Amino acid sequence: MTNTDYQSDTIKDVTPEPVDAPRIVVLISGNGSNLQALIDAQSHDRLGGGEIVAVISNVADAYGLKRAHDAGIDAVALPHREYDSREAYDGALIKVIERHEPDLIVLAGFMRILTPRFVQRFLGRMLNIHPSLLPDYQGLHTHARALADGVASHGCSVHFVTEELDGGPVVLQAELQVSADETVETLQEKVRAREHLLYPIAVQWFLEGRLQFTPEGAKMDGHLLPDHGMRLSHADAAEELDEELDEASQD
C-alpha cells in the first residue's frame, strides 16, 4: 500500500461528524417581542450559531407562541394554573425543558418567580432581561417607579438568573436619558428597543463561550465584569437604533 492510498482511506473518504448547534429554550408569558428579536438574530446568523429549539409559555394564549410556531419552532403551552403549587409547576417545567436538552435557557418576559430547585437545576445557563439599570428597580412597574423618582437615566439589563429576584450578576446594560416630557408609554417603548438590541448580543456571547457565570460573578473573556456589567451609553445605543439625539444628550 502506498502512502497516497493510506491517506485516501483514512482522510479523504471519511466524512466528519456534524457539530450540533447550541440549543436554546426560551420561556415567555406574553407578547414575545424579545423572543422575536432572538428569532430575527438567529435568521441572520447573529446568535452565536445557536438554535432556538423550543418556546415554552405559562400562558396558553400568549402571542409569543404564535411567533414561535410561525418560525417553525416547537411551541409549548404549560399553564401554571393547572398546578397546585409553584413547586409542582416548576417540577413539570424542568421536565419539559430537559426534554429539549438546552445549552441555554432565556427568560423573555417570563412572569414567574422561580423556585430555588429550578434555579439550581440550570444555574449558570439562564439569562434574563429586566427593564431597569439594575440593581435599581428590581421587580415590577420599573418605568412608573423611575418617573416617580425623577431619575435622569433609565434603561435595561441582561443578567444571569440566581435565586435572588433580578439580583443575578449583570452582564450588559443599555442606558437611556429620561426627557422631561417622558411618559410610562414612551419610556417603555425606548427601553424595549434597547432590550431588542442587547439580548441577542448577550446570547451570542454566551454561546460563543465568551460570557460565563462564576462564583465570583459574570466574566467576559475571562475577566470579571463590574457590578453593572458592560454598559452601552445613551448616545451609543441611540446610534445603533438610529434614534435622534437632542443637543443635551450629546454634551
From the DSSP assignment, how many helices (H) and strands (E) are in the chain?
9, 11
Catalytic residue among 69, 80, 130, 143: 130
Nearest to 104 by CA among 227, 2, 183, 206: 206
Going along the chain, which residue ranges are E strands? 23-28, 51-57, 74-77, 104-107, 126-130, 153-160, 170-177, 211-214, 217-220, 223-224, 230-232
Q: Residue ranges for the binding site?
A: 32-34, 86, 111-114, 128
Q: What is the largest CA-CA distance in the chain?
A: 83
Q: Residue ranges for the binding site for (6R)-10-formyltetrahydrofolate?
A: 86, 111-114, 128
Q: Active-site residue 130, yes or no? A: yes
**What residues form DSSP beta bridges with 51?**
23
**What torsion do the CA atoms of 251, 172, 30, 152 make, to the nearest 10 degrees?**
-30
Residues classed as catalytic = 130
